[in-house]
Amino acid sequence: MSNIELKPIGVIVGESSPLQSIVLFDPDHNVKPRVGMYVTTETEEGAILGIVESIRAGNPLLPSDMADVNDAWKMSRFRDLPGKKYLRGLVQWLSLLEPLERGEVRSPGLPPIPSSDIYPASRTSLSTIFGPEGKKWIRIGRLLSDETVPFKINIDQLARHLAVLAVTGGGKSNTVCILTKRIVEELGGTVVIFDMHGEYSSMDVPGIINVRDPQVNPVNLTFEELKTLARLPDNAHNQERVLREAWEKVSERRLKDKVQARDIMNLLKEIVRAMIEEKNDSTTKGAARGVLNRLDDITYYYGDIIDGFAPLELEEFIAPGKLNVVDLSSVDEKAADAVVAHYLRRLLAARKEYIRKNGQSGYPVPVIAFIEEAHILVSSSNYTLTRYWASRIAREGRKFQLGIALVSQRPKNVDPEVLSQTNNKIILRIVEPTDMSYVQRATEQMSDNIKELLPGLNPGEAVVVGMMARLPAIVKIDLCDVKKSGSDVSLSDLWMMHNRAKNTPRDVSDVM
């Protein structure tokens, strides 16, 4: 009984199974049971650990079918009498306690016997389980049920991918911030955040952050990426044929004539103009004119993105051992899709090359890539290049130590194939029922009771499940103590500041 507190807080009633038990808690105990609390009991196999998944309060004098409010008021006077109130909860059994403290999850094979006492798990046991020592474990928060107990995750398991999901204001940005900052600071890890709204470029982490503009060297551009930037409709088959033919000629000429990167787009236009002059059929001529217009649009809208002076080598753009932030806030969704897909594609190819060539070439270190606004870039309804490469990495990346992390406030709009392959999830507050059900279907360890907790989570509180955590847990995520945008803007403060500035007399010298 060394791992169990001396005074029980409840007793098992009704039928019990190795998976769960109904517990009648002592409503007058000084330790109040709450959802997410860890408890223990004894079985023939030894002590087992469980989590309280739901709690209901009741009073036999006030049944739910009572119809007269005056009777209810009369009976409520007796609510503090012994036996006239109760707390009934459902406990999900997780593992035998002794092997769990050694780092091994072992499900009980025998049910605890009804009438068995229930005890709160000791802080010593919980700290051993959820805050293990070791370089692969990093802290991201503390248990919500006992905030003295740290909560750590196994970073090695992020190669099996991650999803961070919540409503706007639920704490996604803070979670990404604390997780990426500690990966880089404590482990020297390599992280890239594809930042759709410029939230992370202002992080005050000197020496570890590498903020990049969304640039792609045309030497490394693929036809599919070029096609995305050209905004070719799916049914523009003739224009696609012309653009592909011209791009193939560019590739030939670039190697043969040693064309400089900065001249590639001009060469492409030159080839298309020649096709307009040389082709005999009107269909091809018309398609070539359309392609030329689209290439002019690329120059106008995306001239800063397709940059012949952008780094050629992947390591120059995504620096090993750094928190790399690609600030996409200045570009539209099409450009963001092309840029994110471009670097996901290259990361996967470079990590494959490194592994297959025994470190002689390729990208030299594992990478975790965070994709913000995943419901846009990894959409369930619209085909995107990013969705294609995210899906490839979700299937293949673990073998090459390349992980992806999807970040979204609209889980139901994220591609289900990719989301279901994120074996780790940090789920903050979600209120929309369809989103909640979608997340549950994509999460093996989420029961109906845990799903029902999601709307009631406060900002920064999260359900954490997956292989990176020894057990499912409800966690208070640590505050990321760096300067960063992303929190809600106070309209009243901004208006008041503007009015104060407007009504403050200026010195004469200000207008001289």
- Residue 69 binned pLDDT confidence (cut-offs 50, 70, 90): confident
* Domain identity same for 204 and 241: no
* Domain identity same for 354 and 458: yes
Contact 23, 91 (CB under 8 A): yes
C-alpha to C-alpha distance for 406 and 239, rounded to whole angstroms: 34
- Residue 484 binned pLDDT confidence (cut-offs 50, 70, 90): low
Both structure tokens of 62: 């006030």
Q: Which helix (H) or strand (E) holds 428?
A: none
Query: Is residue 475 in some structural domain?
Result: yes
pLDDT at 100: 94
**Residue type, position 275, single letter:** M
pLDDT tens digits along 269-289: 999 999 999 877 889 999 999
- Residue 2 binned pLDDT confidence (cut-offs 50, 70, 90): very low
Contact 51, 93 (CB under 8 A): no
Backbone angles phi, psi at 22, to 5 degrees: -90, 130
Query: Is residue 273 in some structural domain?
Result: yes
The CB-side HSE value for 448 (13 A sphere, CA atoms) comes to 1
Residue-wise DSSP of 179-219:
HHHHHHHHH---EEEEETTS-STT---TTTEEEE---B-GG
The mean predicted confidence, pLDDT, of the chain is 90
Domain edge (last residue) among 101, 129, 157 = 129
pLDDT at 74: 77
C-alpha to C-alpha distance for 271 and 340, rounded to whole angstroms: 28
Nearest to 4 by CA among 29, 31, 40: 40
pLDDT at 371: 98
Structure-token match 């090695």, residue found: 156
Contact 444, 438 (CB under 8 A): no
* Domain identity same for 335 and 434: yes
Query: Is residue 504 in some structural domain?
Result: no
Q: Residue 154: which CATH number?
A: 3.40.50.300
Which of 66-70, 309-313, 500-504, 505-509 ranks highest by mean pLDDT?
A: 309-313
* Domain identity same for 347 and 245: no
C-alpha to C-alpha distance for 147 and 265, rounded to whole angstroms: 57
For residue 381, count other CB atoms closer than 10 A to its CB.
7
**Residue type, position 48, single letter:** I
Average pLDDT of the segment spanning 334-354 = 97
* Domain identity same for 95 and 157: no
pLDDT tens digits along 155-186: 999 999 999 999 999 999 999 999 999 999 99
Query: Is residue 234 in some structural domain?
Result: yes
* Domain identity same for 125 and 205: no
pLDDT tens digits along 293-310: 999 999 999 999 999 999
* Domain identity same for 298 and 342: no
pLDDT at 489: 61
- Residue 486 binned pLDDT confidence (cut-offs 50, 70, 90): low
Structure-token match 């009572």, residue found: 66
* Domain identity same for 195 and 344: yes
Average pLDDT of the segment spanning 468-480 = 94
SS3 content of the chain, % helix, strand, coil (to 5): 40, 20, 40
DSSP state of 506: P
Domain edge (last residue) among 281, 302, 323 = 302
pLDDT at 1: 39
* Domain identity same for 181 and 327: yes
Domain count, the chain: 3
Average pLDDT of the segment spanning 365-381 = 96
With 60 as the cut, is the pLDDT of residue 365 above it? yes
pLDDT tens digits along 199-239: 999 888 888 999 999 999 999 999 999 999 999 988 999 99
pLDDT at 15: 94
pLDDT at 440: 84
For 466, the domain range is 149-215+313-488
- Residue 23 binned pLDDT confidence (cut-offs 50, 70, 90): very high
Residue with the bigger pLDDT between 255 and 36: it is 36
* Domain identity same for 298 and 317: no
Query: Is residue 294 in some structural domain?
Result: yes
* Domain identity same for 165 and 111: no
pLDDT at 195: 97
DSSP state of 457: P
Query: Is residue 201 in some structural domain?
Result: yes
Average pLDDT of the segment spanning 339-355 = 97
Percent of the chain residues past pLDDT 90, beyond the cut: 74
Contact 112, 50 (CB under 8 A): no
Can you give the length of the chain in residues? Answer: 512
DSSP state of 456: G
Query: Is residue 85 in some structural domain?
Result: yes
pLDDT at 487: 55
With 50 as the cut, is the pLDDT of residue 475 above it? yes
Contact 203, 177 (CB under 8 A): yes
* Domain identity same for 328 and 419: yes
Indicate left, alpha or beta for 351 from its phi (over 0: left) and psi (-120 to 50: alpha): alpha
pLDDT at 81: 60
